[in-house]
Chain A
Amino acid sequence: MHKFWAMVSKDLLLEARQKDLWLVMLAFALLDLFLAAFSFGSMARSAAPGILWMAFLYAGMLSIGRGFTRESDDGTLLGISLAPGGRWPVFWAKLAGAFLALLAMEGILVPLYLVLFGLGLDRLSVAFLAVLVLGAVGVASVGILMAAISMNIGGHDAVMPVLLMPLLVPVAILSVKASMALWVHQSATFWIRGLGAVDAIFLALPLLAFEYLWEG
């Protein structure tokens, strides 16, 4: 547990100090917002959930692999794997780090989008917060598995976008559909359950397969 917390706090501290991730995320979010406002005009409000999740997914795609590539580039992965506590805390720490970074992004972007689209902060219901959390779990779990695969085959630049884009589509569709339903005050139970199921599958898969990706 000590190893897990040490790695999570190290990764988050590095992200907080480097700041580039947050600048890129804000740049993406603003570009996304401008394009949506000029393309959709008065229709932008109804397209808001899709525009919001697009910003998360693009920013997430950029940030998620960083935890692993940093260790890989610095040659520290072998060291932290061999350190007392085993290899599993490393996996859980990378997953938790990616999840917390995504949650922080959501914390910044959601209020910004709600205000700029004129939707009002009353859209922040408990169910919508659950969608945000489940969406972040889905993006983080798929992303960490793909980052580990990417690292395993030499960190080819195109691997992350090529693998991550199609596998994130179910998480993206379910999150957008759930957000859309909630924002027009309809039941989103079906979409939230689907999101939970996809999360469970993509959390279980790394647990079963991660040992095979460690073998060097």
Chain B
Amino acid sequence: MTRRSQDGWIWGLLPLMGLALFLNFVASPDDRVLGPSQRIFYFHMATATAAGVAFTVTAGASILYLATRNLRFDAFAAASAEIGTVFTSMLLVTGILWGRAAWGVWWTWDPRLTATVILWVVFMAYLMIRGWTESRERRARTAAVLALAAYVDVPIDYMTIRWWKSIHPVVITTHGIHMAPSMVWAMFVSMAAMLGIYAAWMQLRLRLIRVEMGLDRVKQHLKDKLEG
């Protein structure tokens, strides 16, 4: 399959993104209390979902790597962690902007905000550690164990607003979704669009990692030839 045909589906995301933007900025109403700043929420929730999925893929791929020692799973874990960290950065930025509009402060040490910052720092450390390790197998093994330790924070982060008294709103509960139906549509379509971006990004990043691995093999082959 050619690269162009492999990437063809990514263009299919454009109508979905267009629909998400339409629902976000046109079809859904302003919030009665927060006004138009409510619209930040659709990006915020969507990036949170994408980050959660990305880190879950990293944890799953890390377990599969430890079980099989197949470096393809390590590539999956690395690519997904990088993208998840970018989504967490977007999550923090949109949260800070929304917090300023809703709570009147840029930042507060609420349990949810604290857990999210920890998650961001831990996965930043994960990416740094990957860069510090020379041996591919050792890097994959160490990173897989670290990813599992870091992933502990994901369910904690999700549950903080349910376990603790938090000022962060709880939108989805066991009793339903606390929003107007048009807002619910905007939220779910935004989440689908952001997950589509995650999938497209994964495809591109995995291809780049495969190229990097191929280049490493060529370098090693040439080194072996020259040395011996």
A residues at B contact (CB < 8 Å): 142, 145-146, 149, 152-154, 156, 158-159, 162-163, 165-167, 169-170, 173, 201-202, 205, 208-209, 212-213, 215
Contacts and interface: CB of A to CB of B under 8 A. Distances in A.
A169 B157 CA distance: 13
Contacts of B129: 149, 153, 159, 162-163
Contacts of B132: 153-154, 156, 159
10 contacts: A145-B145, A145-B149, A149-B129, A149-B146, A163-B146, A166-B118, A167-B150, A170-B118, A209-B148, A213-B141
Contact of B145 (A159, A167, A212): A212
Interface of B: 66, 114, 118, 121-122, 125, 128-129, 132-133, 138-139, 141-142, 144-146, 148-150, 152-153, 156
A146 B141 CA distance: 14
A137 to B, nearest CB: 16
Given A201-B152, A205-B148, A205-B149, A149 B114 contact: no
5 interchain residue pairs of minimum CB distance: A166-B121, A209-B145, A153-B133, A166-B122, A162-B125
What is the predominant secondary structure among interface residues of chain A facing chain B? helix
Given A145-B149, A167-B149, A201-B152, A153 B142 contact: yes
B74 to A, nearest CB: 12
Contacts of A173: 114
B125 to A, nearest CB: 5
A213 B118 contact: no
Given A173-B114, A205-B152, 15 more contacts: A145-B145, A149-B142, A149-B146, A152-B142, A153-B132, A154-B133, A159-B129, A163-B122, A163-B146, A166-B118, A166-B125, A167-B122, A167-B149, A202-B149, A209-B148
A169 B153 CA distance: 10
A173 B142 CA distance: 27
B65 to A, nearest CB: 10
